[in-house]
Amino acid sequence: MRLLIVEDDVAIQSFVKRALSEAGYQVDTARDAETGELKASEGVHDAMIIDLGLPDMDGLNLIAKCRAQGISAPVLILSARRSVDERVKGLEQGGDDYLTKPFAIAELLARLRNLLRRSSAPHSDPVRLEAADLQIDLVRHEARRGDHLLQLTAQEFSLLEYLCRNAGRVVTRSMILDHVWSMRIDPGTNVVDVHIYRLRIKVDADGRTPLIHTIRGAGYVLKNG
Amino acid sequence: MAFALGTGLAFAIIYVLVAKTIRERTDAWLSGEAEVLAQVSANTPKDHLYNRIVGEVAELATRELPDERNAQGQRLNSVFFLAEHLDGTESPLWVGPGSDDVFVKAIQGASVGRTPRSIGVEGWPTSFRVVARPVGMSGQLIYLGLSDRGDRYVLHILTRRFLLLWGATALMGFLISYMSARRTLLRVDNITEAVARIGSEDLSGRLPESASRDEISRLAETFNLMLDRIQSSVNQLRSVTDAVAHDLRSPVTSIRGTLESALSNGPNDNWRDSVGEAIEHLDRLLNVLNTTLDLAEAEAGALHLDRRPIDLTALVEQFINLYQPAMHDRHHEFVADIDPHVVIDADWSLLSRMVSNLFENELTHLPPNCRVHIRLRLQNESAELVIDDTGPGFPPEITGRAFERFVKGMKSPGHGLGLAFVDAVAKAHGGVVKISDRAGGGAVITVSLPASVLQPA
């Protein structure tokens, strides 16, 4: 997969490029809108990451110009602004998702994956998720560790499902809030943590190998051991 | 100026009226006397005694008026009587000052009739008011004239007096308005001076307010109100910068500290924990920053509202789901009473943050083992969200100021921006937030937001 990053801040561009490369993507970069437009017009990218605060043009304008040129690759907008206007405008102008700075790399990767999956061939929804000895039946809404059926509330099930879909990858609290509770807010207290702890009690209990791990400063990950 | 003109006009009108009245009086006398003389003339046989008889009557008539004289000693009320003889053989009968030829010439020059009119006479500076009367059926005319000098004299004195009066009145009026204007300007000057003195150093000074309700008083009042607001803003700014400084410096210090220790510890497992911890502090810092920015935007009226129909029921229920475990962990009884289908036109992002703040507030401020009750319903075209708890209630030191930024009870954790943000969002949507103490102990927060018109049935 080939990506284009249009971001004028050198430090941000550098760490994003490194993270994306490590995740297996091929990455092109541009430091301003003009260069960005030039590179985008080659039409070889599967997705673009565009910063709104570019020196020579508003990022939204750049997106509009790309769309006008027939470039349909999905766009992830990076913005330091939080006002709703901008975000909605961005989405409506053909950008497909947004992230406010500062963001966690894990979230950037996750949203990028979503964008790419959306635009590729429609995939069939899996009916089962598996990780180590954890099995989740999405049709019957049942989760098992080995033979043991887990007694989970609806919320706990959704949370476990999300962790399992991202098995092996760190998910941040804000990602969890977005997917499980459809909220894009930053709570001050540890509301998400409490849900994770309760889930952990049920999933990692009885001497079983712990699956749900806390990564300090990042979030949680579901993986074996 | 207007006053002077007004009084001047009044005097002018009075003058004209008086002049007219005087003239009418004179004319009336003239006509009356002339009539009498005409009768006498008609009834006196035209013999050698005619001249003597008529002459004497005429003489009497002329002496009727007082012998007033002016400053120069001239007679004011000169009267003449002229009766011409029809056959023109004799010179006309003449009673009056001086000789008759100039008068005859004057009368012949003008056409004098029954109506009195003024004619000029050669050798006389003032005109004469003359009237003519026919004598019986004979066709003879008699003339009676009165010098205008008398009238003129009276009018002259009147004019002088009027002018004097008018001058005095105008002067007084001018003095009065000048004095009162000066007084007003002095008061304005005082205010200007006082305001200049109330500089940025001493915002506590206020202008003296008098009991009168005139414009100057109102000006002083308005200034004082403005100063109140400015002082309050400056105070708030001071407390904001203090609080922000505190709220930002502490986490930054922690972050720096943990990263420094990670640096010095070298490559062992602890460094992950340290760095992770530092990131967590950063997130918290970001939270404070975001809320401060939001609040600043809200207070500046610059909040962008993207209003869409929002299912408040669903939103609140999601929050209840989210916060349920945390509440439970604090051993709170968490009760919800949510009406279905409460839909309002609002900005989703702001509303979520507002509700989040309200719930966070409950979590951070309540000691364990309380009862938290959430109620949502549609009430008269507005959605009403009520959160009440059986906690310690609002500390007395903050009631009345709970919505100011960074106001919080001394014992409570958090940065005190929560309620201020709730207030700002509610106001931006045209709603209100009310806080009160709960009967039986605890706090009640009521948020009212105007509903949408697209209310599903």
Inter-chain residue contact B322 with A82, CB threshold 8 Å? no
pLDDT tens, residue by residue, A30-87:
999 999 999 999 989 999 999 988 888 888 888 888 988 988 899 998 887 665 556 6
pLDDT of residue A50: 92
**Residues of chain A whose C-beta is under 8 A from some C-beta in B?**
82-85, 88, 102, 155, 177, 181-192, 194-195, 198, 215-218
> Are the CB atoms for B47 and B59 separated by under 8 Å?
no
Q: Which residue of A has its CA nearest to B322?
A: A191
Read off the pLDDT of each residue in B262-269 and give the average, rounded to a whole number: 72
d(CA A64, CA B24) in angstroms, rounded, equals 97
Please tell me which residue, B34 or B264, carries the higher pLDDT value. B34
ipTM value: 0.81
Q: Which residue of B has its CA nearest to A190?
A: B326
**Band (B7; pLDDT cuts 50, 70, 90):** confident
Name the residue facing B323 among A83, A191, A215 (closest C-beta): A191
Strands B343-347, B382-389: pairing kind: unpaired
How many contacts, defined by CB atoms under 8 Å, are there between A and B?
Answer: 78
d(CA B317, CA B376) in angstroms, rounded, equals 10
| Percentage of chain B modeled with pLDDT above 70 | 86
Q: For the whole model, what pTM was predicted?
A: 0.61
Cα–Cα distances (Å) from A110 to A71, A116, B192, in that order, read: 23, 10, 64
**Band (A29; pLDDT cuts 50, 70, 90):** very high
pLDDT tens, residue by residue, B183-201:
888 888 887 887 777 765 6
Instruction: Residue B210: name the closest of B198, B218, B199 by CA.
Output: B218
d(CA A110, CA A116) in angstroms, rounded, equals 10
Sort out which chain A residues have CB atoms less than 8 A from B283's CB and list them.
186
Name the residue facing B276 among A88, A177, A218 (closest C-beta): A218
Indicate the range of A9-13, A111-115, B4-8, B300-304 predicted with least confidence.
B300-304
Indicate the range of A92-96, A159-163, B232-236 predicted with least confidence.
A92-96
The most confident of the ranges B19-33, B242-256, B313-327, B433-447 is B313-327
pLDDT tens, residue by residue, B209-250:
777 777 778 888 888 888 888 777 777 667 667 766 777 777
pLDDT of residue B454: 44
Inter-chain residue contact B356 with A187, CB threshold 8 Å? yes
- Tell me which architecture the domain covering B2-156 has in CATH: 2-Layer Sandwich (3.30)
Element (H, E) at B371: strand B371-379
Domain boundaries, chain B: 2-156, 215-299, 307-450
pLDDT of residue B54: 77
Q: Which domains does chain A have, with CATH numbers?
A: 2-119 (3.40.50.2300), 128-222 (1.10.10.10)
d(CA B283, CA B263) in angstroms, rounded, equals 21
Cα–Cα distances (Å) from B141 to A112, B37, B81, B127, B133, in that order, read: 129, 11, 11, 21, 5
Q: Which CATH class is domain B215-299?
A: mainly alpha
pLDDT tens, residue by residue, A114-132:
888 876 666 667 788 988 8
d(CA B385, CA B362) in angstroms, rounded, equals 14
The pair of three-digit structure tokens given for residue A96, joined into one six-digit string: 């497909």
- The four Cα atoms B401, B402, B408, B411 give a dihedral, to 10 degrees, of 100
pLDDT tens, residue by residue, B350-365:
888 889 889 988 888 8
> Are the CB atoms for A199 and A160 separated by under 8 Å?
yes
pLDDT of residue B243: 67
Inter-chain residue contact A181 with B318, CB threshold 8 Å? yes
Inter-chain residue contact A84 with B290, CB threshold 8 Å? no
d(CA B442, CA B136) in angstroms, rounded, equals 119
d(CA A158, CA A154) in angstroms, rounded, equals 6
Residues in chain A: 225
Q: Which residue of B has its CA nearest to A216?
A: B276
pLDDT of residue B88: 60
Q: Which residue of B has its CA nearest to A153?
A: B321
Residue A1, pLDDT above cutoff 50: yes
pLDDT of residue B86: 62
Query: Any idea what DSSP says for residue B303?
Result: P
Inter-chain residue contact B280 with A217, CB threshold 8 Å? yes
Read off the pLDDT of each residue in B5-11 and give the average, rounded to a whole number: 84
Nearest CA-CA distance, residue A98 and chain B, Å: 14
Interface test with A, best of B275, B332, B356, B417 (most A CBs within 10 A): B356
Strands B93-95, B79-83: pairing kind: antiparallel
pLDDT tens, residue by residue, B378-400:
988 899 999 998 988 777 666 55
pLDDT of residue A202: 92
In CATH, what number does B307-450 get? Answer: 3.30.565.10
d(CA A47, CA A75) in angstroms, rounded, equals 6
pLDDT tens, residue by residue, B113-157:
888 888 888 778 888 888 888 887 777 788 888 888 888 888 888
> Are the CB atoms for B357 and B422 separated by under 8 Å?
yes
Residue B453, pLDDT above cutoff 60: no
Q: Which residues share a beta bridge with B388?
A: B373, B444
Residue A164, pLDDT above cutoff 90: yes
pLDDT tens, residue by residue, B91-125:
677 777 777 777 777 777 777 788 888 888 877 88
The most confident of the ranges A108-122, B62-76, B414-428 is A108-122
As to burial, measured by CB atoms within 10 angstroms (0-12 exposed, 13-18 middle, 19+ buried), residue A203 is: buried
